[in-house]
Structure 1
Amino acid sequence: MSNRSIFEDVGGAKEKQAAPTPGLLDRGHDGARKWIRMWLGMLFVLVVAMITVGGLTRLTDSGLSITEWRPITGAIPPMNAADWQAEFDKYKQIDQWAIQNKWMELSDFKQIYWWEWGHRQLGRVIGLVWAVGFLGFAVARKIPTGWAGRLVLPGLLGAVQGGVGWWMVHSGVTQGEGVTTVASYRLAIHLGLAFAILGLLAWAMMGLGRSEQDLMQARRAKEAKPFSLATGLMHFAMLQILLGALVAGIDAGRSYTDWPLMGGQVFPPEAFGLEPMWRNFYENPGLVQFIHRVSGYLLLVFTVVVWLKGRASAHANTRFAFNAVMVAVTFQILLGIVTVVQAAPWQTAIAHQLVAVLVWVLILRARFLSAYPISISIKDH
């Protein structure tokens, strides 16, 4: 037997040692997580764009320019002068034209038509991207175990959203009823569903960003109290988003432009001027804006409570997530005040809506990290 150094034996053993193999949860279909996450990211960006275009469609009073729901054939816009005139003639039959836009010529109609057509077309693109992506991953058998249902749900809700969108538009396509806008409560449902879809996409992307083994280990360190508070904040934020949609639906943001008072009073005058009384809660501009304001103040107070608990987390990433929520909510409240004082110009109104998206995602991020904290060892610093 030849003489060998003990260091040579140890080194050889290291060279021959097999590389660690992934756990059962990280085998098989788990390899597609990165690509599915990219696909969901594309859908996420498209939904944010959809929310933005939808807001601009509302601000330009374009939502009723297309008076029919044709999910397939409606993808093709008017192609000649006769087609344009036919669409314009249909629009002339509804109350919005007769009461509000009787001054319009065909060229004016085309401007509002393109906004609504673009909004609907973007919805079709989102549906197509979801269908192609999901079917592609399913046929290739690349969907991680247990994820099929979670990836189907956004697509199903997207289909429901199309129907809700028409249900909303249909409320404003009237003749002889004196209606010139869509029902604000239907607008709120439409926007709320869009944020729900956005939340599902964001949550799935967060989950797919880490392996199943990592998530299972992290779940053991779940911080129950911050998670519970973040869940409550998530629901409160959704309520505020719905109230904001009610404000937007009746242009209540332009009814009282003083702050902190409303019309020189703490409580707006004529807050219950409509009959029956319950209509005031979604049709009276003063009361609707007052409720949105008060809800915003309460949301800020609750955010402080959640933040104080979240910043005490043992995990640096979780603390940072709750800090980001606190900053974003504070900025959103200030932006809301500016929007009211400026009588809701479209630039500020859209910014307010987009910051709501940011707040929503950051709350979800803080909630996710409370449930699945990322542990950082000393050597990582």
Structure 2
Amino acid sequence: MSQKRNIFEEVSDEARDEQAVQPGMIDRGRGGARKAIRAWLMVLFGLVVAMIVVGGLTRLTDSGLSITEWRPVTGALPPMSEAEWQSEFDKYKQIDQWRIQNQWMDLADFKEIYWWEWGHRQLGRLIGVVWALGFFGFMAARKIPTGWTGRLFLLGALGGAQGAIGWWMVASGVTQGEGMTSVASYRLATHLGLAFVILGFIAWYAYMLGRDERDLMQARRAKEAKLFSLSTGLMHFAFLQIIIGAFVAGIDAGRSYTDWPLIGGQLLPPDMSVLDPWWRNLFESPGLVQFIHRCAGYLLFAFGVVVWLRGRQSAHPQTRFAFNAVFAALSLQVVLGITTVVYAAPWHIAIAHQLLAVILWALILRARFLSAYPVATSVRG
């Protein structure tokens, strides 16, 4: 039995140390290899961005249908001999795109479009390998933080689904006798939309892993609810505009009218309702689809101004800077979008427009994250 102590008795340093509360109890057993996993996620983010850019160039060069089969494993190797090249070319000659649009091609021309599609698919395989090595490596080493295994596995599941959707998209254009010379715009929009969803998850996870659990729990108490709600709305609106942009790209609507601010010399496009039933015009009429994309861009910019003005009122300097960055990127994107239309969507401007959409997407997510988990700044600082 321990001896009773006098209330006025001095407590030794040793006893005081035993009774002291140990710091970092929230993070103990939960930290894992946060920095290493975050670095791995940033590599994945860069690869997915490259995938989007190469995918855009594949579409702009009409290369997406050059490989007419889905061979996830054996397709990693390109043709190794002239006989194999000729075999691939013969398969391409059987589809409508060659019969209607590309009969002028010889084998050398075919090789150019083949390499674009092969590179696009190869990037997809590389992303899968990088994810698998990282995920199973961290799992085997027991370095995944508590609560993160499901999140990191989700990225791999979405990546696998993206590969399947990619072939589902290509298959819509690998036709014989149906008159298809490109992939279905609906499937293209699904493919691009999922790519941005994957980017969004990767970016959000990277932002979270950049700070420890204790910091996040403390920051959550200072959440700016109104600003978070507005930035969430901006995120959804931007995603909708990205999907509309995919429909523009899928039917080459960006090249249908090249005047601005009018469209076809008038306020409304002249071919708004040429398809039947009427709802198909919303997705398949080049003039109307471009018009919808323009109007959505104006509305997105207007809403972006509202969110930016609210963000400037934040008490946290990093949050204010994040919303300033969103507004700057959004303004540049509007200018670049108009430039893309006026110059009839040349590949270098169109790709810059798509890449800036990726940057804007990441910046919106960053601003939203800081609304939910603001970084405290001392009065002295």
What's the TM-score once normalised by structure 2's chain length?
0.94
Aligned Cα root-mean-square deviation (Å): 1.6
Q: Distance in 1 between matches of 2:21 and 2:354?
A: 48
Structure 1 residue 274: Cα displacement: 1.3
Q: Distance in 2 between matches of 1:154 and 1:267?
A: 42
The residue number in structure 1 matching 2:367 is 366
Given that 1:29 and 1:142 are in contact with CA atoms closer than 8 Å, whether structure 2 keeps it comes out as no
The one-letter code matched in structure 2 to 1:244 is: G
The one-letter code matched in structure 2 to 1:375 is: A
Structure 1 consecutive aligned stretches of length 4 or more whose deviation exceeds 3 Å = 16-22
The residue number in structure 1 matching 2:129 is 128
Q: Which deviations, in whole Å up to 9, do the C-alpha atoms of 1:156-214 show, x marking residues without a partner?
A: 00000001000100110111111100011110110010000001000000000000000
Given that 1:29 and 1:141 are in contact with CA atoms closer than 8 Å, whether structure 2 keeps it comes out as no
The one-letter code matched in structure 2 to 1:175 is: Q
Work out whether 1:110 is the aligned partner of 2:98: no
Structure 1 residue 21: Cα displacement: 4.8
Given that 1:88 and 1:106 are in contact with CA atoms closer than 8 Å, whether structure 2 keeps it comes out as yes
Q: Which moved more, 1:270-279 or 1:159-168?
A: 270-279
The one-letter code matched in structure 2 to 1:123 is: G
Q: Which deviations, in whole Å up to 9, do the C-alpha atoms of 1:261-319 show, x marking residues without a partner?
A: 01101100011101222221111100000000000000001101111111111111111
The one-letter code matched in structure 1 to 2:309 is: L
Given that 2:64 and 2:170 are in contact with CA atoms closer than 8 Å, whether structure 1 keeps it comes out as yes
The residue number in structure 2 matching 1:273 is 274
Q: Which deviations, in whole Å up to 9, do the C-alpha atoms of 1:199-253 show, x marking residues without a partner?
A: 1000000000000000000000000000000000000000000000100111110
Q: Distance in 1 between matches of 2:35 and 2:207?
A: 11
The correspondence of residues 177-326 of structure 1 with structure 2, limited to 5 A, is 177-326=178-327
Given that 2:35 and 2:209 are in contact with CA atoms closer than 8 Å, whether structure 1 keeps it comes out as yes
The one-letter code matched in structure 2 to 1:283 is: E
Given that 2:253 and 2:287 are in contact with CA atoms closer than 8 Å, whether structure 1 keeps it comes out as yes
The one-letter code matched in structure 1 to 2:259 is: D
Summarize the Cα distance change of 1:19–1:344 in structure 2 as closer, same or farther, 3 Å threshold: farther
The residue number in structure 2 matching 1:81 is 82
Structure 1 residue 378: Cα displacement: 2.4
Q: Distance in 2 between matches of 1:96 and 1:148?
A: 44
SS in 2 for 1:28: coil
The one-letter code matched in structure 2 to 1:94 is: I
The one-letter code matched in structure 2 to 1:367 is: R
Structure 1 residue 19: Cα displacement: 11
Structure 1 residue 77: Cα displacement: 0.8
Work out whether 1:375 is the aligned partner of 2:376: yes
The residue number in structure 2 matching 1:56 is 57
The one-letter code matched in structure 1 to 2:253 is: A
Q: Distance in 2 between matches of 1:274 and 1:97?
A: 26
The residue number in structure 2 matching 1:8 is none
SS in 2 for 1:25: coil
Summarize the Cα distance change of 1:146–1:82 in structure 2 as closer, same or farther, 3 Å threshold: same
Structure 1 residue 31: Cα displacement: 4.1
The one-letter code matched in structure 1 to 2:147 is: G
Given that 1:184 and 1:245 are in contact with CA atoms closer than 8 Å, whether structure 2 keeps it comes out as yes
Summarize the Cα distance change of 1:270–1:378 in structure 2 as closer, same or farther, 3 Å threshold: same
Summarize the Cα distance change of 1:217–1:95 in structure 2 as closer, same or farther, 3 Å threshold: same
Q: Which deviations, in whole Å up to 9, do the C-alpha atoms of 1:115-174 show, x marking residues without a partner?
A: 000000000000000001000000100000011111111110000000100010011011
Q: Which deviations, in whole Å up to 9, do the C-alpha atoms of 1:27-77 show, x marking residues without a partner?
A: 235140000000000000000000000000000000000001111111111
The one-letter code matched in structure 2 to 1:221 is: A
Structure 1 residue 25: Cα displacement: 2.5
Given that 2:32 and 2:146 are in contact with CA atoms closer than 8 Å, whether structure 1 keeps it comes out as no
The residue number in structure 2 matching 1:39 is 40
Q: Distance in 1 between matches of 2:186 and 2:335?
A: 25
The correspondence of residues 151-190 of structure 1 with structure 2, limited to 5 A, is 151-190=152-191
Identity of paired residues, percent? 72
Given that 1:95 and 1:174 are in contact with CA atoms closer than 8 Å, whether structure 2 keeps it comes out as yes
